[in-house]
Chains A and B, each alone.
Chain A
Amino acid sequence: MDRLQISPHFLSTPAGHLYAVHYVPPSAISTKGYIVHIPAFAEEMNKSRHIISKQARLMAEQGWQVVVFDLSGTGDSEGLLVDVDWPTWLNNIQAVMDWLMTEPLPVVLWGLRLGACLAVDYLNRLPSPENTHLLLWQPIIKGQPFLQQFLRMRLAADLLDKQTGETVKLLREQLVKEGSLEVAGYLLPNQLTSAIDQIDLTQQLLPLTAQVVWLEMIRETGASLSLPSQKTIAAWQQNHNKLHQTNIVTDPFWSTQELTTGDGFIEQTLHYLPQLLIKSALKQSVVSMES
Protein backbone atom coordinates (compact mmCIF):
# COMPACT_ATOMS: atom_id res chain seq x y z
CA MET A 1 0.00 0.00 0.00
CA ASP A 2 1.24 3.44 -1.00
CA ARG A 3 1.94 5.54 2.07
CA LEU A 4 3.10 9.03 2.86
CA GLN A 5 6.76 9.48 3.71
CA ILE A 6 7.93 11.16 6.88
CA SER A 7 11.64 11.96 6.93
CA PRO A 8 13.76 13.93 9.40
CA HIS A 9 16.45 16.32 8.09
CA PHE A 10 19.05 18.72 9.40
CA LEU A 11 19.00 21.80 7.14
CA SER A 12 22.23 23.76 6.95
CA THR A 13 21.74 27.50 7.64
CA PRO A 14 24.06 30.35 8.68
CA ALA A 15 22.54 30.08 12.18
CA GLY A 16 23.41 26.37 12.41
CA HIS A 17 21.48 23.23 11.53
CA LEU A 18 17.71 23.28 11.72
CA TYR A 19 15.86 20.11 12.65
CA ALA A 20 13.00 19.66 10.18
CA VAL A 21 10.52 16.86 9.53
CA HIS A 22 9.29 16.58 5.95
CA TYR A 23 5.87 15.02 5.29
CA VAL A 24 5.45 13.97 1.65
CA PRO A 25 2.12 12.79 0.16
CA PRO A 26 1.79 9.18 -1.06
CA SER A 27 3.31 8.91 -4.55
CA ALA A 28 -0.10 8.38 -6.19
CA ILE A 29 -1.14 11.93 -5.15
CA SER A 30 0.52 14.91 -6.83
CA THR A 31 1.60 17.78 -4.57
CA LYS A 32 -1.03 20.57 -4.27
CA GLY A 33 1.16 22.97 -2.39
CA TYR A 34 3.55 23.47 0.48
CA ILE A 35 2.83 24.04 4.15
CA VAL A 36 5.46 25.30 6.60
CA HIS A 37 4.62 25.03 10.28
CA ILE A 38 5.97 27.84 12.47
CA PRO A 39 5.88 26.67 16.06
CA ALA A 40 4.63 28.22 19.28
CA PHE A 41 7.02 29.44 21.99
CA ALA A 42 8.61 27.41 24.79
CA GLU A 43 6.22 25.13 26.70
CA GLU A 44 3.43 25.92 24.25
CA MET A 45 5.54 24.32 21.53
CA ASN A 46 6.19 21.21 23.60
CA LYS A 47 2.55 20.79 24.55
CA SER A 48 1.37 21.07 20.95
CA ARG A 49 3.91 18.75 19.28
CA HIS A 50 1.62 15.72 19.20
CA ILE A 51 -1.20 17.70 17.57
CA ILE A 52 1.10 19.36 15.04
CA SER A 53 2.52 16.04 13.87
CA LYS A 54 -0.96 14.48 13.65
CA GLN A 55 -2.17 17.47 11.61
CA ALA A 56 0.90 17.36 9.35
CA ARG A 57 0.29 13.68 8.54
CA LEU A 58 -3.33 14.37 7.64
CA MET A 59 -2.32 17.34 5.47
CA ALA A 60 0.18 15.16 3.58
CA GLU A 61 -2.53 12.55 3.01
CA GLN A 62 -4.53 15.31 1.30
CA GLY A 63 -1.64 16.10 -1.05
CA TRP A 64 0.34 18.80 0.77
CA GLN A 65 4.08 18.70 1.37
CA VAL A 66 4.53 19.80 4.95
CA VAL A 67 7.59 20.80 6.95
CA VAL A 68 7.51 20.97 10.74
CA PHE A 69 10.76 22.38 12.10
CA ASP A 70 12.32 23.71 15.29
CA LEU A 71 13.41 27.35 15.31
CA SER A 72 17.09 28.09 16.06
CA GLY A 73 17.86 27.71 19.75
CA THR A 74 14.74 25.60 20.39
CA GLY A 75 13.93 21.90 20.27
CA ASP A 76 16.43 19.82 18.30
CA SER A 77 17.80 22.69 16.19
CA GLU A 78 21.27 24.04 16.84
CA GLY A 79 22.02 27.17 18.83
CA LEU A 80 21.06 28.55 22.21
CA LEU A 81 17.88 30.50 22.85
CA VAL A 82 19.91 33.22 24.55
CA ASP A 83 21.76 33.88 21.26
CA VAL A 84 18.74 34.16 18.94
CA ASP A 85 16.75 37.17 17.87
CA TRP A 86 13.66 37.78 15.75
CA PRO A 87 15.52 38.21 12.41
CA THR A 88 17.28 34.86 12.98
CA TRP A 89 13.88 33.18 13.18
CA LEU A 90 12.63 34.96 10.04
CA ASN A 91 15.76 33.70 8.27
CA ASN A 92 15.00 30.18 9.54
CA ILE A 93 11.64 30.29 7.75
CA GLN A 94 13.35 31.48 4.55
CA ALA A 95 15.85 28.62 4.78
CA VAL A 96 13.02 26.09 5.13
CA MET A 97 11.16 27.62 2.17
CA ASP A 98 14.30 27.55 -0.01
CA TRP A 99 14.83 23.91 0.83
CA LEU A 100 11.20 22.82 0.47
CA MET A 101 9.99 24.56 -2.68
CA THR A 102 10.94 22.85 -5.89
CA GLU A 103 7.85 23.83 -7.91
CA PRO A 104 5.85 27.10 -8.15
CA LEU A 105 2.90 25.91 -6.05
CA PRO A 106 0.82 27.70 -3.39
CA VAL A 107 2.42 28.05 0.03
CA VAL A 108 0.63 28.10 3.37
CA LEU A 109 2.44 29.47 6.43
CA TRP A 110 0.87 27.62 9.35
CA GLY A 111 1.60 29.52 12.56
CA LEU A 112 0.60 28.57 16.09
CA ARG A 113 0.47 31.28 18.83
CA LEU A 114 3.78 33.24 18.62
CA GLY A 115 4.52 31.34 15.38
CA ALA A 116 1.50 33.10 13.86
CA CYS A 117 3.19 36.47 14.50
CA LEU A 118 6.37 35.20 12.81
CA ALA A 119 4.29 34.01 9.86
CA VAL A 120 2.61 37.41 9.45
CA ASP A 121 5.92 39.27 9.70
CA TYR A 122 7.63 36.91 7.27
CA LEU A 123 4.79 37.19 4.75
CA ASN A 124 4.93 40.99 4.90
CA ARG A 125 8.62 40.94 4.01
CA LEU A 126 8.26 38.70 0.94
CA PRO A 127 9.15 40.53 -2.29
CA SER A 128 6.50 38.53 -4.16
CA PRO A 129 3.85 37.34 -1.70
CA GLU A 130 1.34 36.19 -4.35
CA ASN A 131 0.28 32.61 -3.75
CA THR A 132 1.39 32.65 -0.11
CA HIS A 133 -1.37 32.28 2.46
CA LEU A 134 -1.75 32.03 6.22
CA LEU A 135 -3.19 29.34 8.46
CA LEU A 136 -3.26 30.88 11.93
CA TRP A 137 -4.04 28.85 15.03
CA GLN A 138 -4.85 30.93 18.11
CA PRO A 139 -2.54 33.81 17.14
CA ILE A 140 -1.00 35.98 19.83
CA ILE A 141 -2.27 39.46 19.02
CA LYS A 142 -0.15 41.59 21.33
CA GLY A 143 3.30 40.59 22.45
CA GLN A 144 3.46 42.70 25.55
CA PRO A 145 0.81 40.93 27.66
CA PHE A 146 2.07 37.60 26.29
CA LEU A 147 5.56 38.33 27.63
CA GLN A 148 4.05 39.59 30.87
CA GLN A 149 2.29 36.26 31.31
CA PHE A 150 5.47 34.34 30.48
CA LEU A 151 7.52 36.25 33.04
CA ARG A 152 4.83 35.59 35.62
CA MET A 153 5.65 31.88 35.37
CA ARG A 154 8.92 32.61 37.13
CA LEU A 155 6.93 34.05 39.98
CA ALA A 156 4.45 31.19 40.17
CA ALA A 157 5.90 29.57 43.25
CA ASP A 158 6.34 32.94 44.86
CA LEU A 159 3.04 34.57 43.94
CA LEU A 160 1.03 33.03 46.72
CA ASP A 161 3.44 33.36 49.64
CA LYS A 162 5.36 36.47 48.54
CA GLN A 163 8.78 35.36 49.86
CA THR A 164 11.23 37.09 47.57
CA GLY A 165 9.40 40.26 46.64
CA GLU A 166 10.00 39.64 42.93
CA THR A 167 7.51 41.22 40.56
CA VAL A 168 7.09 41.12 36.80
CA LYS A 169 8.14 44.77 36.72
CA LEU A 170 11.42 43.99 38.50
CA LEU A 171 12.02 41.01 36.20
CA ARG A 172 11.57 43.24 33.16
CA GLU A 173 14.10 45.71 34.53
CA GLN A 174 16.55 42.88 35.20
CA LEU A 175 16.07 41.57 31.64
CA VAL A 176 16.98 44.91 30.11
CA LYS A 177 19.87 45.55 32.49
CA GLU A 178 21.51 42.12 32.32
CA GLY A 179 20.55 41.29 28.73
CA SER A 180 18.93 37.97 29.61
CA LEU A 181 16.71 36.30 32.20
CA GLU A 182 16.00 32.70 33.14
CA VAL A 183 12.29 31.86 33.27
CA ALA A 184 10.88 28.35 33.69
CA GLY A 185 14.11 26.83 32.37
CA TYR A 186 14.40 29.18 29.39
CA LEU A 187 17.20 31.74 29.21
CA LEU A 188 15.46 34.62 27.43
CA PRO A 189 17.59 37.20 25.59
CA ASN A 190 16.53 40.83 25.72
CA GLN A 191 16.98 41.21 21.95
CA LEU A 192 14.23 38.62 21.46
CA THR A 193 11.86 39.73 24.22
CA SER A 194 12.03 43.36 23.09
CA ALA A 195 10.92 42.22 19.60
CA ILE A 196 8.09 40.19 21.16
CA ASP A 197 7.08 43.23 23.22
CA GLN A 198 6.49 45.21 20.04
CA ILE A 199 4.19 42.69 18.35
CA ASP A 200 0.74 44.10 17.64
CA LEU A 201 -1.19 42.28 14.93
CA THR A 202 -3.99 44.86 15.12
CA GLN A 203 -1.55 47.29 13.49
CA GLN A 204 -0.17 44.93 10.82
CA LEU A 205 -1.90 44.64 7.46
CA LEU A 206 -1.21 41.90 4.93
CA PRO A 207 -0.44 41.80 1.20
CA LEU A 208 -3.77 42.00 -0.64
CA THR A 209 -3.26 38.61 -2.27
CA ALA A 210 -2.95 36.84 1.08
CA GLN A 211 -5.85 34.65 2.18
CA VAL A 212 -6.18 33.71 5.82
CA VAL A 213 -7.65 30.77 7.69
CA TRP A 214 -8.01 31.91 11.32
CA LEU A 215 -8.93 29.30 13.92
CA GLU A 216 -9.48 30.32 17.51
CA MET A 217 -10.67 28.57 20.63
CA ILE A 218 -13.78 29.54 22.56
CA ARG A 219 -14.89 27.89 25.78
CA GLU A 220 -18.57 27.47 24.92
CA THR A 221 -20.82 27.58 21.88
CA GLY A 222 -21.87 31.10 21.01
CA ALA A 223 -19.10 32.84 22.96
CA SER A 224 -17.32 35.57 21.02
CA LEU A 225 -13.66 36.05 20.19
CA SER A 226 -11.41 38.27 22.28
CA LEU A 227 -11.61 41.95 21.34
CA PRO A 228 -8.03 42.17 19.98
CA SER A 229 -8.75 39.22 17.65
CA GLN A 230 -11.98 40.81 16.42
CA LYS A 231 -10.13 44.05 15.75
CA THR A 232 -7.37 42.37 13.74
CA ILE A 233 -9.84 40.34 11.68
CA ALA A 234 -11.93 43.43 10.92
CA ALA A 235 -8.84 45.39 9.80
CA TRP A 236 -7.74 42.61 7.46
CA GLN A 237 -11.23 42.21 6.02
CA GLN A 238 -11.44 45.95 5.39
CA ASN A 239 -8.12 45.58 3.60
CA HIS A 240 -9.94 43.07 1.32
CA ASN A 241 -8.07 39.99 2.43
CA LYS A 242 -10.15 36.85 2.02
CA LEU A 243 -10.54 35.52 5.54
CA HIS A 244 -12.00 32.21 6.68
CA GLN A 245 -12.66 32.32 10.41
CA THR A 246 -14.06 29.66 12.72
CA ASN A 247 -14.38 29.46 16.48
CA ILE A 248 -13.67 26.07 17.97
CA VAL A 249 -15.16 24.93 21.25
CA THR A 250 -12.28 23.15 22.93
CA ASP A 251 -9.66 23.31 25.67
CA PRO A 252 -6.43 25.26 24.95
CA PHE A 253 -4.16 22.33 24.02
CA TRP A 254 -1.05 24.60 24.06
CA SER A 255 -1.50 25.57 27.72
CA THR A 256 -3.55 22.99 29.62
CA GLN A 257 -1.99 21.12 32.52
CA GLU A 258 -2.60 17.76 30.85
CA LEU A 259 -2.37 16.95 27.14
CA THR A 260 -5.52 17.82 25.17
CA THR A 261 -6.43 16.48 21.72
CA GLY A 262 -7.18 19.66 19.71
CA ASP A 263 -9.25 17.66 17.21
CA GLY A 264 -11.47 20.67 16.44
CA PHE A 265 -8.48 22.57 15.07
CA ILE A 266 -7.48 19.59 12.93
CA GLU A 267 -10.98 19.06 11.49
CA GLN A 268 -11.50 22.73 10.61
CA THR A 269 -8.03 23.00 9.07
CA LEU A 270 -8.70 20.05 6.77
CA HIS A 271 -12.04 21.66 5.86
CA TYR A 272 -10.57 25.05 4.92
CA LEU A 273 -7.26 24.08 3.25
CA PRO A 274 -8.84 23.09 -0.12
CA GLN A 275 -10.70 26.42 -0.14
CA LEU A 276 -7.40 28.30 -0.12
CA LEU A 277 -6.56 26.54 -3.36
CA ILE A 278 -9.94 27.05 -5.04
CA LYS A 279 -10.24 30.71 -4.13
CA SER A 280 -6.73 31.59 -5.27
CA ALA A 281 -7.36 29.92 -8.64
CA LEU A 282 -10.63 31.87 -9.04
CA LYS A 283 -8.90 35.10 -8.15
CA GLN A 284 -6.31 34.56 -10.84
CA SER A 285 -8.91 33.84 -13.52
CA VAL A 286 -10.84 37.00 -12.63
CA VAL A 287 -7.66 39.03 -12.95
CA SER A 288 -6.85 37.55 -16.35
CA MET A 289 -10.40 38.21 -17.64
CA GLU A 290 -10.15 41.85 -16.64
CA SER A 291 -6.82 42.25 -18.36
Chain B
Amino acid sequence: MDVINDVKQILVSQLQLGDQLSAANEETPLLGAIPEFDSMAVVTVITALEEQFGFVVDDDEISAEVFESLGSLCEFVQAKA
Protein backbone atom coordinates (compact mmCIF):
# COMPACT_ATOMS: atom_id res chain seq x y z
CA MET B 1 0.00 0.00 0.00
CA ASP B 2 1.45 3.29 -1.14
CA VAL B 3 0.07 5.37 1.72
CA ILE B 4 1.92 8.61 1.04
CA ASN B 5 0.68 8.68 -2.55
CA ASP B 6 -2.94 7.93 -1.54
CA VAL B 7 -2.87 10.57 1.19
CA LYS B 8 -1.37 13.13 -1.20
CA GLN B 9 -4.12 12.42 -3.72
CA ILE B 10 -6.83 12.88 -1.12
CA LEU B 11 -5.35 16.21 -0.02
CA VAL B 12 -4.97 17.45 -3.59
CA SER B 13 -8.47 16.34 -4.55
CA GLN B 14 -10.35 17.58 -1.44
CA LEU B 15 -8.51 20.90 -1.19
CA GLN B 16 -7.98 21.47 -4.93
CA LEU B 17 -4.29 22.04 -4.51
CA GLY B 18 -3.42 21.44 -8.16
CA ASP B 19 0.26 20.48 -8.36
CA GLN B 20 1.14 22.18 -5.07
CA LEU B 21 2.05 18.86 -3.44
CA SER B 22 3.78 17.22 -6.41
CA ALA B 23 7.20 17.55 -4.78
CA ALA B 24 5.93 17.04 -1.21
CA ASN B 25 7.67 14.57 1.09
CA GLU B 26 7.20 13.45 4.69
CA GLU B 27 8.67 16.69 6.04
CA THR B 28 6.22 18.91 4.12
CA PRO B 29 4.18 20.88 6.68
CA LEU B 30 0.36 20.88 6.35
CA LEU B 31 -1.64 22.65 9.08
CA GLY B 32 -0.65 26.29 9.22
CA ALA B 33 1.40 26.03 6.02
CA ILE B 34 -1.38 25.42 3.46
CA PRO B 35 -4.00 28.21 3.59
CA GLU B 36 -6.78 25.88 2.35
CA PHE B 37 -6.14 23.55 5.30
CA ASP B 38 -8.59 24.93 7.87
CA SER B 39 -10.68 23.06 10.43
CA MET B 40 -13.46 22.29 7.92
CA ALA B 41 -10.83 20.91 5.57
CA VAL B 42 -9.59 18.67 8.37
CA VAL B 43 -13.10 17.22 8.60
CA THR B 44 -13.46 16.61 4.87
CA VAL B 45 -9.99 15.05 4.71
CA ILE B 46 -10.77 12.70 7.61
CA THR B 47 -14.01 11.70 5.89
CA ALA B 48 -12.21 11.01 2.62
CA LEU B 49 -9.56 8.96 4.44
CA GLU B 50 -12.27 6.91 6.17
CA GLU B 51 -13.98 6.21 2.87
CA GLN B 52 -10.78 5.37 1.02
CA PHE B 53 -9.18 3.13 3.65
CA GLY B 54 -12.34 1.78 5.30
CA PHE B 55 -11.49 2.69 8.91
CA VAL B 56 -13.36 4.86 11.41
CA VAL B 57 -11.68 7.73 13.22
CA ASP B 58 -12.76 8.63 16.77
CA ASP B 59 -12.91 12.24 17.88
CA ASP B 60 -10.19 11.86 20.48
CA GLU B 61 -7.74 10.52 17.91
CA ILE B 62 -7.81 13.79 16.00
CA SER B 63 -5.24 16.35 17.05
CA ALA B 64 -3.21 19.14 15.51
CA GLU B 65 -0.12 16.90 15.71
CA VAL B 66 -1.70 14.39 13.29
CA PHE B 67 -2.02 17.12 10.65
CA GLU B 68 1.34 18.75 11.30
CA SER B 69 3.08 17.27 8.28
CA LEU B 70 2.48 14.85 5.45
CA GLY B 71 4.60 12.33 7.34
CA SER B 72 2.62 12.59 10.58
CA LEU B 73 -0.68 12.18 8.68
CA CYS B 74 0.68 9.11 6.85
CA GLU B 75 1.83 7.60 10.14
CA PHE B 76 -1.68 8.09 11.51
CA VAL B 77 -3.24 6.41 8.46
CA GLN B 78 -0.79 3.51 8.62
CA ALA B 79 -1.60 2.95 12.27
CA LYS B 80 -5.34 2.89 11.49
CA ALA B 81 -5.39 0.91 8.25
Contact = CB atoms under 8 A, between A and B. Distances in A.
Interface of A: 145, 148-149, 152-153, 155-157, 159-162, 167-169, 219-220, 226-227, 251-252, 255-258, 260
Given A219-B9, A258-B16, A159 B40 contact: no
B54 A159 contact: no
Given A159-B59, A161-B64, 6 more contacts: A145-B50, A152-B43, A159-B39, A159-B42, A160-B62, A255-B48
A162 B6 CA distance: 28
Main secondary structure of the interface of B (DSSP, over half): helix
A74 to B, nearest CB: 20
B59 A168 contact: yes
20 contacts: A145-B56, A149-B50, A152-B46, A152-B47, A153-B40, A159-B39, A159-B42, A159-B62, A160-B42, A162-B63, A227-B54, A251-B13, A251-B16, A252-B48, A255-B47, A256-B15, A256-B16, A257-B15, A257-B16, A258-B16
Given A160-B42, A255-B44, A257-B36, A152 B13 contact: no
Contact of A219 (B10, B42, B47, B63): B10
Interface residues of B, number: 29
Contacts of B43: 149, 152-153, 155-156, 159
Contacts of B50: 145, 149
Given A161-B64, A226-B51, A252-B14, A257 B41 contact: yes
Given A149-B50, A167-B60, A226-B54, A260 B16 contact: yes
Contacts of A145: 50, 56
Given A149-B50, A219-B9, A156 B14 contact: no
A172 to B, nearest CB: 11
B52 to A, nearest CB: 7
Interface in B26-78: 31, 36, 39-44, 46-48, 50-52, 54, 56, 59-60, 62-64, 67
A157 B48 contact: no
B22 to A, nearest CB: 14
Closest 5 CB pairs of A and B: A156-B39, A167-B59, A251-B13, A156-B43, A149-B47
B63 A152 contact: no
A228 B9 CA distance: 21
B14 A255 contact: yes
B39 A157 contact: yes
B68 to A, nearest CB: 11
A88 to B, nearest CB: 27
Nearest to B57: A152
B47 to A, nearest CB: 5
B51 to A, nearest CB: 6
